[in-house]
Amino acid sequence: MALEPGQLLQERYRIVALLGEGGMGAVYRAWDTRLNVAVALKEMRPQPGLDQATLAGLRDQFRQEATILARLNHPNLVRVTDFFEEGSNAYLVMDFVLGESLADKLLREGAQSEAQVVAWGRQLLDALAYCHAEGIIHRDIKPQNVIIHATGKAVLVDFGLVKLWNPNDPRTQTIMRGMGTPEYAPPEQYDTHSSHTDARSDLYSLGATLYHALTGQAPATATQRMAMPGAFKTPRAINGQISPSLEAIISRAMELQLDRRFPTAAAMTDALVSQRVAQPFPATIPAAVSPVYQPVSTPPPAPGVSGHSPLSVGNNSAAAMPGGRDAPPKKRLSPWVWIIGGLGVLILGASVVCGALFLIRGSGFFASPTEMPTATAVTRVNPTPLPELQTPTSRAPSPTVAPTEPELTTVPSAGAFQLTVANYSDYDVCYVQISASDSDSWGEDWLGEEDLIYSGDSRVFDVPAGTYDVKLSDCDDVVLATAWKISQDTTLDVGGMGLVSLHLINDSSDEICYVYISSTTADSWGDDWLGESESIDSGGGQRVFFFTPGTYDLLTQDCEGNDLVSEFEVDFQSDLDWTISD
Angle at 146 between CA 10 and CA 370, to 5 degrees: 65
Catalytic position from the list 95, 140, 445, 528: 140
Rounded to 10 deg, the angle between the 114-133 and 244-253 helix axes is: 30
**b/e burial code for range 447-463 (CB count within 10 A of at least 16 → b):** bbeeebbebbbbbbbeb
| d(C-alpha 390, C-alpha 3), whole Å | 56
Give yes or no: 462 in active site.
no
What does the alpha-carbon distance between residue 541 and residue 563 come to, in Å, rounded to a whole number? 18
Q: Could you give the angle at the alpha carbon of 257 between the alpha carbons of 255 and 258, nearest 5°?
A: 95
Interstrand relation of 458-463 and 380-381 (parallel, antiparallel or unpaired)? parallel
Which helix (H) or strand (E) element contains residue 253? helix 244-253
Between CA 496 and CA 75 the distance in angstroms is 14
User: Can you list the positions of beta strands (E) in 293-373?
Assistant: 309-310
What are the φ/ψ torsions at residue 473 (nearest 5 degrees)? -135, 155
Q: Are 429 and 455 in contact (CB under 8 A)?
A: no
**436 alpha carbon, distance to own chain's centre:** 25
Q: What is the CA angle 37-526-350, rounded to 5?
A: 70
SS3 474: coil
Q: Which of 357, 116, 431 is nearest to 242 (CA)?
A: 116
Report the distance separating Cα 246 and Cα 215, nearest Å.
12
> Which H or E element spans position 459?
strand 458-463
Of the candidates 518, 582, 522, 528, the residue with the CA atom closest to the CA atom of residue 552 = 518
Nearest-10 crossing angle of helices 265-274, 244-253: 170
Beta strands 309-310 and 576-580, pairing class: parallel
Nearby residues of 67 by Cβ (< 8 Å), 6 or more positions away:
83
Give the count of beta carbons closer than 10 Å to the beta carbon of residue 227. 10
Q: Using an 8 Å Cβ cutoff, are 254 and 117 in contact?
A: no
| Residue 580 main-chain phi, psi, to 5 deg | -100, 120
Other C-beta atoms closer than 10 Å to the C-beta of 35 total 15
Closest residue by Cα to residue 227 from 182, 177, 180, 196: 182
Q: Do 287 and 253 meet the contact criterion of CB atoms below 8 Å apart?
A: no
Q: What is the DSSP string of 118-166?
A: HHHHHHHHHHHHHHHHTTEE----SGGGEEE-TTS-EEE---TT-EEEE
Which residues are annotated as catalytic? Answer: 140
